[in-house]
């Protein structure tokens, strides 16, 4: 085997491990964000119960149910992301990260903005894209307007 083949194989292995480490780190960051959101909801729920107790009022169970549902959704997403990390560590290249990550944008508690970036998995690893809300075309993160329809971003 030629030295160039060995170098090439080593480079491929190194780049794959680097991509896995970057992917894992980004997903772990997302998990931490979900945990923070859960803690905010827990605190809000605790304040609500405390205020009701201090004022001899009845807690609005509809609000508490909504908060519990939000926490459950975050916990489900955390489990999905943890499984995704396991797949990445096992070397499963067929895992599609944006399938898991993009679900986070459905939750109103994250306060989705037009300027938010989404994660797109490419052959070269993870790429952040700004998607146009009008035509759903992926644009570079620094884009001021959509490359397809011309809609200006906020």
For the chain, what are the domain ranges? 3-112, 113-154
pLDDT digits (tens, 9 = 90+) for 4-63: 888 888 888 787 788 888 888 888 999 999 999 999 999 998 888 888 888 888 878 888
Q: Hey, CA dihedral for 135, 37, 97, 125, is it positive or negative?
A: positive
Element (DSSP H or E) covering residue 127: strand 125-131
pLDDT digits (tens, 9 = 90+) for 102-125: 444 333 344 445 555 566 566 666
CA gap 20, 66 in Å, rounded: 36
Two tokens at 68? 């519990």
CB under 8 A, 24+ apart: contacts of 59-67? 67/41
Q: Is the pLDDT of residue 136 over 60?
A: yes
């Amino acid at each position: 085997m030629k030295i160039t083949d060995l170098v090439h194989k080593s480079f491929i292995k190194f780049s794959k491990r680097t991509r896995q480490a970057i992917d894992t780190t980004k997903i772990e960051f997302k998990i931490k964000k979900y945990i923070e959101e859960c803690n905010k909801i827990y605190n809000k729920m605790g304040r609500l119960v405390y205020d009701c107790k201090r004022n001899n009022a009845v807690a609005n169970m509809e609000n508490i149910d909504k908060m519990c549902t939000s926490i459950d959704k975050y916990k489900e997403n955390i489990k999905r992301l943890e499984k995704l990390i396991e797949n990445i560590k096992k070397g499963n290249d067929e895992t599609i990260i944006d399938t898991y990550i993009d679900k986070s944008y459905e939750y109103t508690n994250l306060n989705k903005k037009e300027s938010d970036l989404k994660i797109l998995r490419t052959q070269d690893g993870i790429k952040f894209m700004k998607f146009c809300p009008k035509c759903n075309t992926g644009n570079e993160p620094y884009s001021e307007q959509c490359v397809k329809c011309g809609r200006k971003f906020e």
